[in-house]
Chain A
Amino acid sequence: MAAPTATAALNASVFAPGDQMLLTVTYSDADTKPLTVTIVVTDAQGNSSAPVKVTAVIDPLTVTVTDNSGRTWTRVSDNGSVAVYRSVA
């Protein structure tokens, strides 16, 4: 099983007290695959239901953010490969 990769970047290196800080996390894993399962039910007479789609992720990733100064980072967005977190300086 492949290991994930991650990078973390802040929107600045020095912040004034009270400034908004934005952290961009870029992450991936070669094994992580989104997939869609499509289900169609067909009876003995050959009548089929409308297809129903279900999505799933193989080997999903969890992202954890910690801060040694005790600041709380709140997730603003996450599209599965790029997540943005926000905190206050």
Chain B
Amino acid sequence: MDALTITNLTKKFGDKTVLDKLNLSVPKHSIFGFVGKNGAGKTTTMKTVLGLLKPDEGRITVAGERVVYGQTKTNRHIGYLPDVPEFYSYMTPYEYLAFCGKISEIPAKDLKSRCCGLLELVGLKNEKHRIKGFSRGMKQRLGIAQALLNRPKLLICDEPTSALDPVGRKEILDILLLAKEQTTILFSTHILSDVERICTDAAFLDKGTIVLQGSVSGMRNLNSSKKYVLELADRKDTEKIMQAFTGLTLNQNHELVFREESGLLFSILHFIAEQKIPVQKLEHMEIPLEDLFLEVTKP
């Protein structure tokens, strides 16, 4: 069973259709990257899953249970980190977590240890100041702690890394990787390197529909253009191969770039072996997800 299933979700704001028959399923224990441009409908989708917005059409199930707008009981399976999390500024992080714990009806005897454990996980254990003076990164980390408090089956993070500096981003991604042990994570982003770094699965959202969905490794394979890069120790050898074969190009680093078609790779390797040409590097070229994303979301 999937942690989250969305079928035919449609949401309009006035005349504007923000989500158009969106279908999505998030497998259990995955880190699911939900990728889209600004305004593609990522936050709307997430808020509808949380029962904060009323869908015009469609069905959402979380851990097999249907989401009902207004009285959202399914939220007890979910931990949510909003894009710009805001907490009660007059509380300390511990007080805030303890308050959240009481709301989630966590037994009093577990509460203290769980709060302390989570504050340690997000690196706020020794923070005794009130939330008022927190930086964005600190709020984001506290946000993850409060989202994980009720041990959710699904953790939803809305662009957790978008507004952070490189250090803050790395911290959040590391915490998410740690959290993967406990839960399924759905996180929206427009930073594709984050997806490549930690996600197991991903979906690309464009104009309110999913244009591509699958495992990140599958996407990479789909995306691999069967291109190879060959670097030789000696420039003369490079020229020799250029003359012997057709369909090779030279890039600015004086490397040979070619597309693997009708056994070209093996012919070249054979040639290299016969001529005993010293090789520096032979690499399968991976094209970043970014190019794939740009391709599938072309206007």
B partners with A? no
Interface residues of A (CB under 8 A from B): none
